[in-house]
A and B are shown apart, each in its own frame.
Chain A
């Protein structure tokens, strides 16, 4: 079912159906890879928080796709080169590419590094048609990119549809005005990149934009709140947010004069953070929130840099400070031709697109709850104080020994807020069976490398186990703590041998384990390896 044009007005009030502005999106594919100077004809990928962000075409053929873990990626393609994502460099390198569009239109919006958009209305009239503008943008950006990559251009109603058009482009895709909804209709709903919403929709049997668009807006709003409504408007080719009817006359910009002028980016970023805080406070008082912001910087000699930044969610003060830093990084450390001659003397933040703050529905889908936010913050705080290695999370690995089944990895390498996919909640759950591993219940304390002990039989002879796994005599007494602690064995299991990795010389392990219960009621796992007994685990 596709939405027909006559349906739309009956669902939204008149002021709400304003079709989104004609927008051009220019997209540089593989941008994160280009920013780390990776070679695209080799298998390589960029990672963030231990997951793949972008992979080269060669790597994609091996199945190295977005979102998989680095270990899985290496499994699929052994010669894969991994680079850690460098977001500030991505922006810094993108700045000169965007700068070549400056004399086509002054209003360039950077959606994210590698992707920018311009509003078509002015330029298309000036240059004589949308196609001409698209071709002009493409040739200018390709010149600036010096043949490293071919930029893709999409033109449609609104930045969202235009970006999808750019991704489908070869190399230019024009979606005629008013056709955005039918252009989007056959596309998979996952393209929204809001898994918390699309997962539910797919489970409800709604897999394309067309099917989602055909739902009544009121029902979408009732079930999915403001997030769902915004997505629904996108699917219909409308503006994501209802245009605000309040008077825009009020100047809400926040300005700070920097004296003496700052020539270092971090100093400006620090000011930007305070400025952003103040702006937020003011907007919050009015019940507004900002999804697009203009950052204007002026040097003591009057040179200016102005960029628009957009964010799908809301721009927090930290996010604004980040964007100021990115923009100025690109400007102050750019090529000598466009670098300003003096320090930054004035910084202005102009909230451009304001919407009513509806708040976010926290925890509706169980992923990003307020609690997760707090955990993330506490983790960052502890990492700052104790060091990155001190705060860890658990990952399942699979293994035969209790200390091998789970591995602790620094919390910094995983995104705590993302829904865990590969982190099975019980060890060895999805993995192949490990013959010889301990059956449940697992030990509650694991001693690594283990406490050396001596095991004696009733005649005070040391207990031995021969090559066939036969015990020399029933264990009777365990002497621990260098002869200071004595434990009497009450019950014991038959020994079971483990002989693993005999095919690798260095890591061959051969040992025999028995479980024993001593008179203090504690159960222990003993291992005999290379003629020495150790307590390797306790059931406490």
Chain B
């Protein structure tokens, strides 16, 4: 009498259609919502301050949060301080781990704000714990490991750095892997001092930059490090 089967089929098809449309609808809404609640700050915008003189050495001209910066060569202390100086002046805290020889007067001349510096001297067994505790608490961590950092420790510290958004500045080439920006100071020449006269005024150096990803393109810059006032000056 009635084509019940056909009607049922048609109804089912329509119902399925509606469900389908709803699902599509919901997906679109969900996507829209996702876009709306997405963090306004993109990863590339999560950066720390950097001295203007050093921008040509970093990919994009910025010091990205969560990155590992390695500094090597003769003059690496001055360069490590210069890397940290911009962010420190902009309000970040800095910590120096196990580096008792560091000259803080030079750090102040480079632009580091000494009232936002922690100096931590752990016993060797607690080195990795200390660095881990500081990551996330301070923005800049200056380390100078005295021997090669074990792969396990390095992996753990890198993961923590990336997650918490601090910057690890490692001086002296003992960091095994995962370095984002690699800076090397090629030894330079001192100015202002002669044979039995004058005093140090500045040192002209060439700094080579490399690294992973965007940083892998080789960069190079000529600097006075330190400059006449202690802060780096671009030549």
Interface residues of B in 117-152 (CB under 8 A from A): 117-123, 126, 129-130, 133-134, 136-139
Which residues of chain B are within 8 angstroms of A442 by Cβ–Cβ distance?
Answer: 103, 105-106, 108-109, 230
**B interface size (C-beta, 8 A):** 57
Please determine whether A402 and B105 come into contact, CB atoms closer than 8 angstroms. yes
- Contact string against B for A residues 447-487, beta-carbon threshold 8 Å, 1 for contact and 0 otherwise: 11000000000000000000000010010000000000000
Of the 9-residue stretches A52-60, A91-99, A314-322, A488-496, which lies at the interface with chain B? A488-496
A391 to B139: give the CA distance in the assembly, Å.
Answer: 17
A195 to B134: give the CA distance in the assembly, Å.
Answer: 29
> In the complex, what's the smallest C-beta–C-beta distance from B165 to chain A, in angstroms?
11
Which residues of chain A are within 8 angstroms of B126 by Cβ–Cβ distance?
Answer: 385-386
Please determine whether A423 and B137 come into contact, CB atoms closer than 8 angstroms. no
Please determine whether A440 and B195 come into contact, CB atoms closer than 8 angstroms. no
Of the 9-residue stretches A11-19, A142-150, A217-225, A519-527, which lies at the interface with chain B? A519-527
- Which of A366, A441, A494 is in CB contact (< 8 Å) with B200? A441
> In the complex, what's the smallest C-beta–C-beta distance from A416 to chain B, in angstroms?
9
Interface residue? B217 (CB, 8 A)? no
A320 to B169: give the CA distance in the assembly, Å.
Answer: 40
- Which of A423, A537, A539 is in CB contact (< 8 Å) with B115? A423
Interface residue? A108 (CB, 8 A)? no
A376, closest chain B residue (CB): B137
Given contacts A539-B78, A540-B74, contact A445 B133 (CB under 8 A): no
- Contact string against B for A residues 348-389, beta-carbon threshold 8 Å, 1 for contact and 0 otherwise: 000000000000000000100101101101110110011000
Please determine whether A390 and B120 come into contact, CB atoms closer than 8 angstroms. yes
- Which of A445, A494, A523 is in CB contact (< 8 Å) with B102? A445
Question: Which of A378, A379, A439, A445 counts the most chain B CB atoms within 10 A?
Answer: A378
A423 to B137: give the CA distance in the assembly, Å.
Answer: 22
Interface residue? A517 (CB, 8 A)? yes
Interface residue? B36 (CB, 8 A)? no
Please determine whether B103 and A402 come into contact, CB atoms closer than 8 angstroms. yes
Which residues of chain A are within 8 angstroms of B68 by Cβ–Cβ distance?
Answer: none
Interface residue? B213 (CB, 8 A)? no
Which residues of chain A are within 8 angstroms of B113 by Cβ–Cβ distance?
Answer: 425
Please determine whether B115 and A446 come into contact, CB atoms closer than 8 angstroms. no
> In the complex, what's the smallest C-beta–C-beta distance from B129 to chain A, in angstroms?
7
Interface residue? B178 (CB, 8 A)? no
Interface residue? A392 (CB, 8 A)? yes
Which residues of chain B are within 8 angstroms of A441 by Cβ–Cβ distance?
Answer: 106, 109, 200-202, 226-230
Interface residues of A in 156-194 (CB under 8 A from B): none
Interface residues of A in 506-537 (CB under 8 A from B): 515, 517, 520-523, 537
Given contacts A427-B105, A493-B196, A515-B199, contact A375 B115 (CB under 8 A): no
Of the 9-residue stretches B11-19, B37-45, B155-163, B184-192, which lies at the interface with chain A? B184-192
Interface of A is mostly: mixed
Given contacts A382-B120, A392-B118, contact A540 B76 (CB under 8 A): yes
Interface residue? B70 (CB, 8 A)? no
B117, closest chain A residue (CB): A394
A379 to B115: give the CA distance in the assembly, Å.
Answer: 14
Which residues of chain B are within 8 angstroms of A420 by Cβ–Cβ distance?
Answer: 115
Which residues of chain B are within 8 angstroms of A497 by Cβ–Cβ distance?
Answer: none
A492 to B198: give the CA distance in the assembly, Å.
Answer: 8
Interface residue? B75 (CB, 8 A)? yes
Please determine whether B121 and A374 come into contact, CB atoms closer than 8 angstroms. no
A447 to B103: give the CA distance in the assembly, Å.
Answer: 9
Which residues of chain A are within 8 angstroms of B109 by Cβ–Cβ distance?
Answer: 426, 440-442
> In the complex, what's the smallest C-beta–C-beta distance from B182 to chain A, in angstroms?
18
Where the two chains meet, the residues of B that have a C-beta atom closer than 8 Å to any C-beta of A are: 74-78, 81, 91-93, 101-109, 113-115, 117-123, 126, 129-130, 133-134, 136-139, 187-190, 193-203, 226-230
In the complex, given contacts A375-B138, A539-B200, what are 14 additional A-B residue pairs having Cβ atoms less than 8 angstroms apart?
A: A371-B139, A378-B134, A382-B134, A385-B133, A391-B119, A392-B119, A394-B114, A420-B115, A423-B114, A427-B108, A441-B202, A492-B195, A493-B199, A521-B187
What are the nearest 8 A-B pairs in CB distance?
A: A378-B137, A521-B187, A441-B226, A442-B105, A420-B115, A444-B77, A441-B230, A442-B106
A selection of 11 A-B contacts at a CB cut-off of 8 Å is A382-B133, A391-B118, A394-B119, A402-B105, A406-B105, A426-B109, A440-B229, A446-B102, A474-B196, A494-B197, A539-B106
